[in-house]
Chains A and B, each alone.
Chain A
Amino acid sequence: MTNRSGRDLAEIRADFPILAEEHHDGVPLVFLDSAASSQKPQAVIGAIADYYRHTHANVHRGIHKLSEAATAAFEDARRKVRRFINAESRREIIFTRNTTESINLVAQSWGRSQLKPGDVVISTVLEHHSNIVPWQILAEEIGFTLRFLPVREQGQLDLAEYERILREERVRLVTVAHVSNVLGTVNPIAAMAEKAHDSGALILVDGAQSVPHMPVDVRALDVDFYAFSGHKMLGPTGVGVLYGKRDLLQAMPPWMGGGDMISHVSLDGSSWNELPYKFEAGTPAIAPVIGLGAAVQYLQELGMEWVHAYEQQLTAYALERLSEVPQLELFGPSAAKEKGGVAAFRLADHHPHDVAQLLDAQGIAVRAGHHCAQPLHHHLGVPSTTRASFYIYNTEEEIDALVAGLYETLRILG
């Protein structure tokens, strides 16, 4: 399968200036940490620089030409994001700082106004901390019950338990990752959404590890809320997105007060601006939003079907090569087609920090630790893992380099 732009891998890699840099003197960079944050193509870097050089002014209230141009560029990025995830309207696209803030928005606005003692919110053991802690804080305050779906051997959610809780308890919300940031498990979101709705519950999806890597259609999935980050999908840090169904967003109270989010303010009280501005208090991250628009455009030029297919091919190769390494234990689904582009592993009983350090010395950037998923690691019975993750600019040669690096690590550590 070739990508929509018809360009080859060398050309794609050339779009990312950082990939041409030496990691250490004379050692090229092998970047296998995109699940934490991806690198940025020149199209994104340039869009941000051009914006600051030629267009910058504050958005939305200005009458002068610069403010008009900045507003148009900012809102154009919102339209690009809308089309990218197939939301019905740009008004359902709320810009936040990141996935974490998007989830906190739902907790503090919808959760705080809707959840009552005795209600149940379902999360899962494989969630990132950002989809656990906001609910724990709120549960402590309100007194609703938080349930965590267990995972089975290969990292799949226990869906029988899911249906049992939906059937027997007063579930108001299901909040679940689309793709696990450690195991790579792809959860069956459309089926889970249907079951949640059948029980009168809403569903919020953490899409931080899905939107960058596969086609996502929020209407086909029929999710109520969908959260993701710009910086994991070739965009800049500082911008994330919350998609929400219009009727839900319309009925939700604001969670932050300030400029831009009001309709009218008097000292006796205030009324709220229309969507999406009701949830965008204060001057937004204008340049990062415009950068995110450029990132979306870049991904669409390649085509998300290709992005997904290429990553699956790389992941299959990585799983095969890694399974040859002695004393290496992989976690998560063993088939590439069942998982996102991550490989989390233990190498003998060596601490992942030592493994990552020795790989770094060889130019290979991976992540080590609990990856903000301590409950999952507790379930796996290990304190931490080493994680290699893949994106459109990675190559099979880089995976070979990782494998060679692991052999070298074993040689040094014994």
Chain B
Amino acid sequence: MENLYREIILDHAREPRNWGVLDPADIDYEEYNPLCGDRLRITIRIGEDEIIDGLGWSGEGCAISQAAASMLGEEILGKSLEEVKAWTRDDMLALVGIPLTINRVKCALLSLKALMIGIYGQKIWDRMEMEDED
């Protein structure tokens, strides 16, 4: 149990980084987790050389989905769109870094899904899901 709710997860869940949506934003996208109804809205500003120089998000969800969003935001702020595009499901699961059972994987991936679809559209996410799953 402590594995799942490690201190770093609880820390991000209690004090989410980059909380609050940006207005105006270059990207503003909301995604849902059909399994539990969690909601995650992600907003991004894109600066020179396609660098993400502003990011804010809000949402409702379990500690894992909220912590994952917080960790992802910290990770990609200051990165280029090209770097973000190379992210995979496995990168995201490694970032969250806790053992997840089959029904909880979606919680950890919700923010990545919102980010990818928000920036690049549905197709890239469909492809990521297809590539990563047998």
Contacts and interface: CB of A to CB of B under 8 A. Distances in A.
Nearest to B36: A61
A273 B37 CA distance: 12
A72 B130 contact: no
Contacts, number: 45
Contacts of A263: 32, 34
A264 B32 contact: yes
B3 interface: no
Interface size class of B (residues with CB under 8 A): 10 to 19
B86 interface: no
Contacts of B75: none
B134 interface: yes
Contact of A71 (B32, B37, B102, B130): B102
A388 B133 CA distance: 41
Nearest to B30: A264
15 contacts: A60-B35, A61-B103, A62-B103, A67-B103, A68-B102, A71-B103, A72-B101, A83-B134, A88-B130, A89-B134, A91-B130, A263-B34, A271-B32, A273-B34, A274-B126
A262 interface: yes
A94 to B, nearest CB: 15
Contacts of B90: none
B129 interface: yes
Nearest to B113: A274
Contacts of A273: 34
Given A262-B34, A271-B32, 12 more contacts: A61-B35, A61-B103, A63-B103, A71-B102, A72-B101, A79-B134, A83-B134, A89-B133, A90-B133, A91-B130, A260-B34, A274-B129
Contacts of A264: 32, 34, 37
* Shortest 5 CB-CB contacts between residues of A and residues of B: A264-B32, A68-B101, A89-B130, A263-B34, A273-B34
Interface of A: 60-63, 67-68, 71-72, 75, 79, 82-83, 88-91, 246, 250, 260, 262-264, 271, 273-275, 277
A180 B54 CA distance: 62
B134 A72 contact: no
B129 A91 contact: yes
Contacts of B134: 79, 82-83, 89-90
Contacts of B32: 263-264, 271
Nearest to B37: A264
A246 B34 contact: no
A274 B103 CA distance: 15
A250 B32 CA distance: 18
Interface centre among B34, B130, B133 (most CB of A within 10 A): B34
Interface in B1-56: 32, 34-37
B133 A60 contact: no
B104 interface: yes
A89 B103 CA distance: 19
B39 to A, nearest CB: 8
Contacts of A60: 35, 103
A260 B34 CA distance: 8
A260 B133 CA distance: 19
Contacts of A260: 34
A274 B35 CA distance: 11
